[in-house]
Amino acid sequence: MSEWCQNKRCPEKKNQNQIRGSKGAKYYQSNKASSYYYDIGCSQGCFWDWFKQNETAIKNAVPHIPKQVLPLENAWYVEYRYSYSSGVEDRYYLRNKLMGIDQHITKQQAQTPEQIAEDHSWSTIDDTQAKELAITLGLASWHNQNNIVMYRHHLRN
């Protein structure tokens, strides 16, 4: 966005690295903005000061959205549970709390070939891939059918 920190009070931090000018005419200047703070602030403090300084304008500029929902058929994810005593094969679970499912899966199912190659045991497939895995394992379709059966049961009564 900008080269310089967008917090207008950045020079008031009076850090040593902000001093410029020659003797008798010295001054503090803004730091450079950092990509860590979205090229807006030089630090987390300046980023939040900028947000507070511009809060009303930002809220008015961004369209408001209504309530968002995540239905149960899209609520799948893979969870990595580290425990000192468990073996590496016991650490991966395919979960859908909205369906009450907590299914143990293998490392090969929980990770992409790239993740296995990187050897980061805690990284797992994303939620879209988790849903596909649930369908492959028959978990998603079985429960969908169950819901339909339950729904029909309610209709009859």
The one-letter amino acid code at 55 reads E
Does 7 help bind Zn ion (rule: CB under 5 A)? yes
DSSP 50-63: HHHHHHHHHHHHSP
Stretch that binds Zn ion, among 26-34, 60-68, 88-96, 127-135 (CB under 5 A): 26-34
Does 5 help bind Zn ion (rule: CB under 5 A)? yes
Angle (CA) 100 104 109, round 5°: 115
Contact between 94 and 101 under an 8 Å Cβ cutoff? The reply is yes
**Minimum CB distance to Zn ion, residue 37 (Å):** 9
Separation of alpha carbons 114 and 99, rounded Å: 30
**Minimum CB distance to Zn ion, residue 141 (Å):** 54
Does 40 help bind Zn ion (rule: CB under 5 A)? no
Say what the alpha-carbon torsion angle 125, 142, 136, 68 is, to the nearest 10 degrees.
-40
Of 34 and 129, which has the nearer Cβ to Zn ion? Answer: 34
Stretch that binds Zn ion, among 30-38, 92-100, 122-130, 132-140 (CB under 5 A): 30-38
Separation of alpha carbons 32 and 103, rounded Å: 49
Considering only 40, 46, 99, 125, the residue that binds Zn ion (CB under 5 A) is: 46
Does 31 help bind Zn ion (rule: CB under 5 A)? yes
SS3 content of the chain, % helix, strand, coil (to 5): 45, 10, 40
Considering only 40, 42, 139, 140, the residue that binds Zn ion (CB under 5 A) is: 42
Does 33 help bind Zn ion (rule: CB under 5 A)? no
Binding residues for Zn ion (CB under 5 A):
5, 7, 10, 31, 42, 46
